[in-house]
Amino acid sequence: MSDRIETDRTMWFSMWFLASIATFGVAFFPMFYRLIENRNSHFRREADLEKRIAVFVKNQGREAPVTVDRVHEMNGRAWAAAIVFVIPVFVMAYFLSKDLIVHEKHQDTFLSSAFQGRMFMPQTVPIRKYVLLTIVTMGWGIIYWLYKIINLYNAHFKAQWAIEKEIDTVMEDDKNWQAHVGNAGL
């Protein structure tokens, strides 16, 4: 059974973008803050899930998968405030894209070592394409890039929900099997 109390929150780019236009850009501050905080929250939850999986695998008598390259947390308030200077928006878009790539590769490696036969398909984020588009459009491509970042994180969160449900099922089935074997042996 899942210990999950909190879940990842998806965002709706259109709502935030339209609110930003209506408020002459003011709504961009909470949009960026929420995007970064959602990312941080997800990475914290993922670390907790990995710990649970490592204990589960160790209890089965197998070697627990190694967690490496933990992604650092970003300061949501500082980054949201920094968008006043415009350039941090581009830097933030790059880091959010790159962090998702690194996170999904790590998650794929971790899950496939913990659950043999399990395949998780990391998304591809064509950062070079988005950077080039942003340069060619003299900065306006950042809007599309942000749209794609939000959609990629939303897709990742939805895939994560399915993965967690599957992991919980596997762990619960194993717990029930262990209880059954324990009762039959008595």
Segment 152-185, tens digit of pLDDT: 999 999 988 888 888 888 888 776 666 544 555 5
The contacts of residue 84 (CB under 8 Å, 6+ apart) are none
The contacts of residue 129 (CB under 8 Å, 6+ apart) are none
Give residue-wise pLDDT tens across range 36-74: 999 999 998 888 888 888 888 888 888 878 766 566 899
Q: Map residue 40 onto helix, strand or coil.
A: helix
C-alpha closest to that of 64 among 110, 13, 99, 8: 110
Integer-rounded Cα radius of gyration of the chain? 20
Q: What is the pLDDT of residue 178?
A: 60
Please state, as a whole number, how many other Cβ atoms lie within 10 Å of the Cβ of residue 34: 16
Please state, as a whole number, how many other Cβ atoms lie within 10 Å of the Cβ of residue 111: 19
Q: What distance in Å separates the CA atoms of residue 150 and residue 161, rounded to the nearest whole number?
A: 17
Mean residue pLDDT across the chain: 85
Give 2's pLDDT tier (boundaries 50, 70, 90): very low
Give residue-wise pLDDT tens across range 129-141: 999 999 999 999 9
